[in-house]
Amino acid sequence: MIYCLCYISKKSESLDVEGVRSIVSTSQKNNDAKEITGVLVEYKSDFLQYLEGDPVEIYKLFNKIKSDERHYDVNLLQYSPLENPLFSGWAMVYRDLDRLDSVDRDKYNQCIETIEVINEKRSFWKGIKAIEILSNLIDD
């Protein structure tokens, strides 16, 4: 049985583009070794991350990520069993929703709106909604 885990957090002020690049490359390497897949989304001051894989492995990873000083205010949105992985074969997809061209901006708009609702209304269940929307755009 695989599980998914989703959280939203705030980026640390000191984190720059290089810093995020380094997180993504470490994540791809480590997650690949642990058969963890998922996506890291950057939008304004937020990270939205979704992980899927062995329940113990992804929870252990979440605990490590939670104490990482490159972000703060980490809020767990979801940790639950999953029938079918959404990001099979993708150790860690990365999307920066602040740097989309206008075509992509239209494509990702629904996902962006969903992240904004999470922030405004603390509607945590919307986390998975945003991820599902995103997973449908990945193969395009």
Near ligand FMN by CB under 6 A: residue from 61, 115, 130, 134: 61
Whichever of 56 and 103 has its CB closer to ligand FMN, that residue is 56
Helix and strand numbers, DSSP H then E, in the chain: 4, 5
DSSP code of residue 91 = S
The shares of helix, strand and coil residues in the chain, as percent rounded to the nearest 5, are 45, 30, 25
Near ligand FMN by CB under 6 A: residue from 25, 26, 80, 109: 26
Q: How far apart are CA 124 and CA 118, in angstroms?
A: 6
Q: How far apart are CA 64 and CA 56, in angstroms?
A: 13
Q: 3-class DSSP state for residue 87?
A: coil
> Per CB under 6 A, does 68 bind ligand FMN?
yes
* Number of residues this chain uses to bind ligand FMN (CB under 6 A): 15
Near ligand FMN by CB under 6 A: residue from 65, 118, 128, 133: 65
Q: Which of residues 70-109 bind ligand FMN (CB under 6 A)?
A: 70-71, 92
> Per CB under 6 A, does 47 bind ligand FMN?
yes
> Per CB under 6 A, does 27 bind ligand FMN?
yes
